[in-house]
Structure 1
Amino acid sequence: MRTLAAALALAAAGCATVDEEVPEHGVTTGRCDAAKAQGFVGRPATEVLPQEALRLTGAGAMRWVRPGTVVTMDYRRDRLNIELDRENKVTAIRCG
């Protein structure tokens, strides 16, 4: 009986709604402002690029997204995604 009660409580918790709205693709409502780092697109990835991009955008976290890399689909408005091509050049900079 306790197992059933625990399972029902867990199932009910999974049905909870999130109060925060997820913005449309490409629109951010948090600290990250990817427009300020678009000058890095086309440049090679370097050791200083992440720090400079974080400083410019105001993002609190950053991740590299390389071709074939599996990334989580969770939206984080404070995260900067720097996408690279096979030659290690920046192809896109987005928040999320």
Structure 2
Amino acid sequence: MRKIFLLAPSLLAACAANAPAQDSPGPEQPTPIHGVTPGHKCRSEGTTQFIGKPGTSETGAAIKGVTRAAVLRWAPPGYMLTMDYREDRVTVYLGSDRKITKINCG
């Protein structure tokens, strides 16, 4: 039994020698920023063509294409929205008839 206790520390030391260093530098990763998707910044130019059109997934995809937004947010009447600004998001407001009344970036 005594031999096992004498052997255990050397086995643990052998395992620890192969463990990766905790302070070793890894590849540098960009810090994620809320509301920013690289390459996607919403542009409101050209969105007036969608006012009065039905709020469908096809229209939403077209709006994302024109605005270059990464995120599309639908806003039906009476729907509560967060007030945080995201430069990669477009918000599409709908009337009670499900037609688009307003389009905003952010």
How far off is 1:31 after superposition? 1.4
Runs of 4+ with deviation above 4 angstroms: none
Aligned identity (percent) is: 36
Structure 2 counterpart of 1:6: none
TM-score, length-scaled by structure 1: 0.66
3-state SS in 2 of match to 1:55: helix
Residue 58 of structure 2 is aligned to residue 48 of structure 1:
yes
Q: For 2:70, give the aligned amino acid.
A: G
CA distance in 1, matches of 2:48, 2:41: 16
CA distance in 2, matches of 1:47, 1:58: 16
How far off is 1:43 after superposition? 1.0
Unaligned runs of 5+ in 1: 1-29
3-state SS in 2 of match to 1:87: coil
Structure 1 counterpart of 2:103: 93
Structure 2 counterpart of 1:38: 48
Aligned residues: 67
Report the aligned-residue RMSD.
1.2
CA distance in 1, matches of 2:97, 2:84: 27
Structure 1 counterpart of 2:15: none
Any idea what the Cα deviations from partners look like across 1:17-68, whole Å, max 9, x if unmatched?
xxxxxxxxxxxxx711122222000111122011111011111101000111
1:51-66 pair list within 5 angstroms: 51-66=61-76
- Taking CA–CA contacts closer than 8 Å with sequence separation of 6 or more, which of the two structures ends up with the larger relative contact order? 1
Q: Which moved more, 1:74-83 or 1:34-43?
A: 34-43
TM-score, length-scaled by structure 2: 0.60
CA distance in 2, matches of 1:35, 1:44: 19
